Amino acid sequence: MPISIATQQGRSVYVYDDENRQILLIPTGTLPHDGPKGFTSTVISVQRDGTIYAYNDQGRIIGSVIAG
């Protein structure tokens, strides 16, 4: 399912497809810069506790990098 919208509410990122159906719920951390960093139709990047995680459209972590 293609990613169309990603929005942060509290300590969670809600991800929706092109028909406005929620497809993912991704937790964020408590640091000031935690939250969504960007997305394409197939990947979303979310920072959590100093690390940026890349998730595919099925919610699997496909990579990570320490935020600098």
Q: What is the pLDDT of residues 8-47, one digit of tens each?
A: 999 999 999 999 999 999 999 899 899 999 999 999 999 9
What is the Cα–Cα distance from 30 to 47, expressed in whole angstroms?
10
- φ, ψ dihedrals at 7, nearest 5°: -140, 140
In eight-state DSSP terms, residue 42 is: S
Instruction: Examine the pLDDT at 1 and tell me if it is beyond 80.
Output: no
What is the Cα–Cα distance from 60 to 68, expressed in whole angstroms?
23
Domains along the chain with CATH numbers: 3-66 (2.40.10)
**How high is the pLDDT of residue 65?**
97
- Of 3-7, 29-33, 57-61, which gets the smallest average pLDDT? 29-33
pTM (predicted TM-score) = 0.91
